[in-house]
Chain A
Amino acid sequence: MATRRSKRRGGRGRKKGGSNMTVLGVIAGAVLVLAAVLGSGVLKKSGVREAEPETSFRIADYRRDGSRFASAGNTYVFDGRVENIETIDNNRIVSISIPDNPDERLPLLVPGNVRLRTNLTRGDRFIFETTCTTGKAQDGSQVKGILIVRNAQSR
């Protein structure tokens, strides 16, 4: 489970309008998400501006439709165990498993130009700060729903 924090206010919540009921609902949801994050090990990144989560990140949902998590500015923080690292050129594909869900693997892209504060090693747990985005393949087609690691620290 992961939380989404927005650098900007609003997001999908804002699209629904600015009624009091909505605000209350969002606050209640945020409280619930916070409780869930605290319970599931997904941490807030220090320094990142707090944002009220609009939806929870479930790997099953990501497998079905990853691009739905690729709204601009969304950051996802995962606490996971490195199961595999595949290096292609300077880039790495890191597959992590989330605690309590060992049958799932979440692939994260660590671009070569990202300098991490720690060395990623297989079998160790790290906290990954990621953004979900859509890239462009060499043939011009879209490469949707890619989780790109912006930062990581050992847990």
Chain B
Amino acid sequence: MKTRFIGTILSALAIGAWSEAQMPVSSGGGAPAPQPSGGGSALPSSFDASGSAAKPQQNDPTRQGETPPPQLLGMEMPLMDPSTDTVSYNGGVFDVGNNAAVRARFEKYLQQLPDDSAESKRYRKLINDILKETQRGGRDSRYVIGSETLIRVGKSLYKANEFPGDGGQSGVLASAMVSALDVQRANLSRSGQNAKLDADINELVHKMDRENAKNAWAARNFEKHKIKYTNEMKDSRTMLETSKANVAEKKAEKAANKVASEANLLAAKVNYQSILVSIFLQRRFDHVVIGSRVYRHLFKDGDVKLNVDEDSQVGKAFSKGTGMPPTVNALDSAASNARREIDQSIEAVHNALACNRLGEATQQLIAAVAIGEYMQSVATFPAEARRRIAQYWTLRKRAYTALNARDYATVEEVAAKMKEMDVDFDNSLLLTYTTGKKRQSDLAIRNAMKALQAGDEEKFNTYIAEAGMIWPRNPNLDKGAEMLNKIDAGDPVKEEFRNLYKIGEFRRIAAERERFKVVNMDPELAKQYEEVITLVMKIDGLLGQLKGLAQQDVTLGPCMAYEKLIEWQKEDERYARDKEMMIALKDYESQAHDFVQALRDAKRSEERGEYGSALSCYYRAQCKYPGSGIAKEGIRRVSDVIVKATYP
């Protein structure tokens, strides 16, 4: 019970110290997805059914309606739940093992070399010597550390303060000790003043007693020496009055000194205790132990109660476990226990590494670093061991990243490596999850292929998108593309379409447009399909219009239609390949036989250099169809040749 309580407090304090600088980053919307404990064996539980990373429990129902945590020394107290490895802080719940800040700190620690420098060794020896010096006072309650010892401890702390890794905490503690001693010295001085005041008061009282006795005798013999005593009694009364006033004044001065001493003592205690709590929150447990052990020798009134608000998080953290008010001794105990726990954790890390249980070693080291980053056993953790754990940690991170990216092949590959490194690593849940997702993706691809074969492009796209969403790097997606090409190449309908298009059989395509619609899945064929359908529809429209016009004049109509068809064919050679247009051309050709024959004769004559004949033929054609553009153009062309020629 006690161990758990202390562990909770220590974890809370440790994370709190880190959180002070780093938590706002995590809680600002970029909270990491939960990560499983036990070396990543429960990674899949961090994701919901859709594969999305779960969100931090910002809306924990058990915390609804709770007032925000109060402030202590400008720092909010985080609370750690050891059962879930989460810390609630500032209204949010964060996974310690998956906190970006914690990860970054741990990775930095893994990359650092052990702190084995001569300077560091000197520092540690200094701290150990101080601990030994104060330990005697702790063990033997009758032993009282004298002022010389306190001064020695203070000097050693100031010396330790010079080491950069100390972070100035030794100096802070030493200064607090000096302040406390100064207050004690001032109180001692005030005690001396009070003693002198007591003596003065006693003297005044004696003097007043003597005067009173003298006055009493004089009163009894007043009648005999009336004139003589009248003046003396008068002086005596005046002196008595003055003495009374002096006594009252000195008593007031004495009371003021007492009040000042008590007030200063309390202030000194609060100052010293706040320093202790501050150092404790910074996980400088050696300093906490030193400060706590020195405390009862600095403040010898036996009052060790911590002057913290019981409703504050620190007060609650201490009182919740024991139901007792927090004390300096409790701090000492907690810090001592933390030192022991951290040393045990480091010992456990070494044992786990010896048995190739990297997952357990990593977890233990994270806990040790999180709680006791400044402890000697943590700071001097060997480089080789750090390297091994760093390798495992990198794999664990890769697994986590790959899982977030839904790269299941990489997840399995990493899991296999982790299994090689950690004999205890259980990859069954991980593999079950990845296998399920991979099959789900493959199934979607299979459905897509079926849709493709059925010519349902919309379903094909939906299934392919689904498969890519579940497993973006599914190799079957590439295979699907290859299959798509193969199906494309082997698709008889597409092949038929290609052939018909190639030979210009647009009419056949148009006649079976529904059957050929499937080619639209291929972008290139889709363009051709659209071209064919558009062209055929246009030709049909033109022929329809032409037929109507030709029927209006049985003599000139066919000539006009024939000439129009010839014009269109010249404009677009695809018209010449159209069967319907060819049929129409032959039809109009037979109806306008003389006109057509004249044009043909003209052309032949022109080709033979018979320009006279050619001109005559064009004129004949013009007679048959006065509106003929072909005849007009021929006349102009041939006339031009004739007039420009020279004749004998």
| Residue ranges of A at the interface with B (Cβ–Cβ < 8 Å) | 59, 62-67, 86, 88-89, 91, 93, 95, 103-107, 109, 111, 132-138, 141-148
B609 touches A105 (CB 8 A): no
A62 touches B619 (CB 8 A): no
B642 touches A67 (CB 8 A): no
B610 touches A65 (CB 8 A): yes
Shortest Cβ gap from B24 to chain A (Å): 93
Bound form: Cα–Cα A105–B619 in Å? 6
B612 touches A62 (CB 8 A): yes
B620 touches A146 (CB 8 A): no
Query: Interface code B610-648, partner A: CB below 8 Å = 1, 0 otherwise?
Result: 111101110110111000000000010001111111111
Task: Using CB atoms, name the residue of chain B closest to A70.
Answer: B612
Task: Using CB atoms, name the residue of chain B closest to A91.
Answer: B643
12 pairs from A and B in contact (CB 8 Å cutoff): A63-B601, A63-B613, A63-B616, A65-B610, A103-B624, A107-B615, A111-B647, A135-B647, A136-B647, A143-B609, A144-B609, A144-B613
Q: Which residues does chain B contribute within 8 Å of A103, judged by CB atoms?
A: 620, 623-624
B645 touches A146 (CB 8 A): yes
6 further contact pairs, Cβ within 8 A, besides A67-B613, A135-B645: A62-B612, A63-B605, A91-B643, A136-B646, A143-B609, A147-B612
Bound form: Cα–Cα A62–B644 in Å? 21
Q: Which residues does chain A contribute within 8 Å of B620, judged by CB atoms?
A: 63, 103-105
Q: Count the B residues whose beta carbon is within 8 Å of the partner chain — how many?
A: 27
| Residue ranges of B at the interface with A (Cβ–Cβ < 8 Å) | 601, 605, 608-613, 615-617, 619-620, 622-624, 635, 639-648
10 A-B pairs closest in CB distance: A105-B619, A145-B612, A135-B645, A66-B612, A66-B613, A135-B647, A143-B645, A91-B643, A107-B615, A88-B643
Q: Which residues does chain B contribute within 8 Å of A88, judged by CB atoms?
A: 639-640, 643-644
A138 touches B613 (CB 8 A): no
A144 touches B611 (CB 8 A): yes
A145 touches B613 (CB 8 A): yes
B609 touches A141 (CB 8 A): yes
Contacts A63-B616, A145-B610 hold; do A133 and B645 have CB atoms under 8 A apart? no
Q: Which residues does chain A contribute within 8 Å of B613, judged by CB atoms?
A: 62-67, 144-145
Q: Which residues does chain A contribute within 8 Å of B605, judged by CB atoms?
A: 63, 66
Bound form: Cα–Cα A63–B598 in Å? 9
Q: Which residues does chain B contribute within 8 Å of A65, judged by CB atoms?
A: 610, 613
Contacts A65-B610, A66-B610 hold; do A137 and B641 have CB atoms under 8 A apart? yes
Q: Which residues does chain A contribute within 8 Å of B622, judged by CB atoms?
A: 105
Task: Using CB atoms, name the residue of chain A closest to B636.
Answer: A86
